């Protein structure tokens, strides 16, 4: 792997809190850096010394399989020491605040904090409370920047470009931090984004971000290059948003019949976890158009890039 030039001025941020403030050049730089890190995972000894002597802590206040393990492994591949924090077995269960918890952990000499939290704005708040780097691993419905970056990486890898592609994000847009971050990243990179779902889950207010909103999936299927299916975020829904699961599957579930109406090279994406048989039929999730596991693989290189670039910017006092 060729490490990016230390003095490259494209990336100067020590935190990654969302994609809203990033420029297209910055996003491209992360994707290019991730591409250069991909090779590390093909070696017999899958490690580089980029973060040797640095300490990375995973502060997860919400469940996670992919993001948590991916960040841990990414940090280990960069030779960092990794601490795992579990909210349930920590002193937050005794009433300690997020800021106090973070400051106490930082006092042990932590360089990078990765936070997942149920409250929107928690990552920003943390970045204002500590001196170390802060990376947002998902805050409420607000943002999930590394998921969006790995989605962009996967689209670019499979399609050779992002500019000009027709990308649909389907399902529970309203409660999804992935939809918000994906939409911002895709639009910045020049894709045309269509948000699809029932009016309760895909309200027209999202048009203000530059996306198109439609309520009938079947109307747009033939024009799409990429379809990103989302999970219904049951944990964030407090009142009914569609009449029945059966009706939802009929109108918005993606199955073989719908695939037959798409372009032959359409990509079917999903950030996981998948509810098989609800938003996505099992044979589609496991089929040749599905990028689900490739997204997870690419997430590792993307998170290595984000950890490396933020730490490098922090080292320059930014």
Which residues are catalytically annotated? Answer: 66-67, 94, 116, 144
Q: Which stretch binds ligand CP (CB under 6 A): 20-28, 248-256, 267-275, 279-287?
A: 267-275
Q: Give the separation between CA 99 and CA 295, rounded to whole angstroms.
A: 32
x/- map, 221-240, ligand CP, by CB under 6 A: --------------------
Q: E strands within the chain?
A: 55-60, 81-86, 112-117, 133-139, 166-170, 192-196, 212-214, 226-229, 267-269
Binding of ligand CP by 86 (CB under 6 A): no
Cβ(307)–Cβ(112) below 8 Å: yes
Minimum distance of ligand CP from residue 302's CB (angstroms):
12
Member of 64, 119, 200, 275 binding ligand CP (CB under 6 A): 64
Binding of ligand CP by 291 (CB under 6 A): no
Helix (H, G, I), strand (E, B) or coil at 225: coil
Helix (H, G, I), strand (E, B) or coil at 103: helix
x/- map, 94-133, ligand CP, by CB under 6 A: ----------------------------------------
Binding of ligand CP by 271 (CB under 6 A): yes
Binding of ligand CP by 66 (CB under 6 A): yes
- In sequence order, the β-bridge partners of residue 254 are 280
Cβ(235)–Cβ(245) below 8 Å: no
Helix (H, G, I), strand (E, B) or coil at 86: strand
Helix (H, G, I), strand (E, B) or coil at 252: helix
Q: Which of 74, 227, 93, 223 is nearest to 154 (CA)?
A: 227
Binding of ligand CP by 67 (CB under 6 A): yes
210 vs 273 by CB, closer to ligand CP? 273
Binding of ligand CP by 185 (CB under 6 A): no
x/- map, 137-166, ligand CP, by CB under 6 A: -x--------x-------------------
Catalog residues that contact ligand CP under the rule CB under 6 A: 64-68, 138, 147, 271-273
């Amino acid at each position: 792997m060729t490490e990016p030039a230390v003095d490259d001025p494209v990336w100067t941020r020590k935190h990654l809190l969302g994609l809203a403030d990033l420029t297209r050049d910055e996003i491209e730089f992360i994707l290019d850096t991730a591409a250069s890190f991909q090779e590390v995972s093909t070696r017999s000894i899958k490690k580089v010394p980029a973060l040797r002597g640095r300490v990375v802590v995973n502060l997860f206040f919400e469940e996670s399989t992919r993001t948590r393990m991916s960040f841990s492994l990414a940090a280990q591949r960069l030779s960092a020491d990794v601490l795992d924090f579990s909210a349930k077995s920590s002193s937050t269960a005794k009433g300690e605040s997020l800021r106090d918890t973070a400051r106490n952990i930082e006092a042990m000499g932590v360089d990078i904090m990765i936070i997942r939290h149920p409250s929107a704005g928690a990552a920003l708040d943390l970045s204002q409370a500590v001196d170390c780097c802060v990376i947002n691993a998902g805050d409420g419905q607000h943002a999930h920047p590394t998921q969006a970056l790995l989605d962009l990486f996967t689209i670019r890898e499979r399609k050779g470009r992002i500019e000009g592609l027709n990308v649909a994000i389907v399902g529970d847009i309203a409660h999804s931090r992935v939809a918000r971050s994906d939409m911002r990243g895709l639009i910045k990179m020049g894709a045309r984004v269509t948000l699809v779902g029932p009016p309760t889950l895909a309200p027209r207010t999202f048009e203000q971000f530059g996306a198109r909103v439609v309520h009938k999936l079947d109307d747009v299927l033939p024009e799409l290059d990429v379809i990103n299916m989302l999970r219904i975020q049951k944990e964030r829904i407090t009142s009914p948003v569609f009449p029945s699961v059966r009706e939802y599957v009929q109108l918005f579930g993606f199955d073989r019949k719908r695939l037959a109406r798409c372009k032959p090279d359409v990509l079917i994406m999903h950030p996981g976890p998948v509810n098989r048989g609800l938003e996505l039929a099992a044979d589609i999730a496991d089929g040749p158009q599905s990028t689900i596991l490739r997204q997870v693989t690419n997430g590792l290189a993307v998170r290595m890039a984000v950890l490396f670039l933020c730490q490098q910017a922090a080292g320059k006092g930014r």
